[in-house]
Amino acid sequence: MSDPRIETIIGELRTLGSEHNRAGMARYGISVDRAFGISMASLRPVAKRLGRDHALALELWASGWHEARILAVLIADPRAMTPALMDAWTADFDSWDLCDQAGLKLYVKTDHVEDCIARWAVDERTFVRRAAFALMAAAAVHLKAVDDAWFAPMLERIDDHAGDERNFVKKAVNWALRQIGKRNASLHGNALALAERLAASDDKTRRWVGRNAVRELTDPTQIARIKDRDAKRS
């Protein structure tokens, strides 16, 4: 590692961690083999202090420490994230929280969202496929400029992979379906139709994905929020 700050930052992260937090992470299915046990609330001020620093992010990622990699996601420059680099980082995912933070805080801000979703969705590796649907969910919330047609192939991918019984995958597929359905009234109808079809499936995983989405997408509070957002846009 060439950046002299790395050793100091890793030392700081070590002091912020705790065995109590590591135990909590493990209970929630997060790999703690290379984790200090630091909450996001404690990591955010560190990221804010460091600011956008892509070179430093690369070295933090290379350290292999779980929280250093989350910190890398928070300070990396989206404009410098190439598809090859995103593929490399995504191949390193070993926990759902790192996967989801990357999608929500970094990947969705790049110019490669659609391409990465398409490639990762068909990848058999658990966290690579999860990354596709976590990024899809992030896109439904944050990509305000894309039109409804952009989500048509996304719903097709949800249909294609709703039967993936792996817990980390099926939850991300469900998450993406719910977020697309909450984007606006038009997409709500399309997503709900898919959710209802999945809910009627003979396959238990597809049925779980569908029923869970139907429950949220038919909730009166959610429907009211969708109508309110649509009214504000118009």
Say how far residue 104 (Cα) sits from the centre of its chain.
5
pLDDT of the residue at 3: 82
Mean pLDDT score across all residues of the chain:
96
Q: Residue 91: pLDDT above 70?
A: yes
Q: What is the pLDDT of residues 59-85, one digit of tens each?
A: 999 999 999 999 999 999 999 999 999
Distance from C-alpha of 86 to C-alpha of 162, rounded to nearest angstrom? 24
If pLDDT is split at 50, 70 and 90, which confidence band does 233 have? confident
pLDDT of the residue at 179: 98
pLDDT of the residue at 2: 78
Q: What is the pLDDT of residues 8-62, one digit of tens each?
A: 999 999 999 999 999 999 999 999 999 999 999 999 999 999 999 999 999 999 9
Q: What is the pLDDT of residues 129-184, one digit of tens each?
A: 999 999 999 999 999 999 999 999 999 999 999 999 999 999 999 999 999 999 99
Domain extents for the chain? 1-76, 95-234
Q: Residue 194: pLDDT above 60?
A: yes
If you classify domain 95-234 with CATH, what class do you get?
Answer: mainly alpha
pLDDT of the residue at 1: 54
pLDDT of the residue at 104: 98
Q: What is the pLDDT of residues 105-133, one digit of tens each?
A: 999 999 999 999 999 999 999 999 999 99
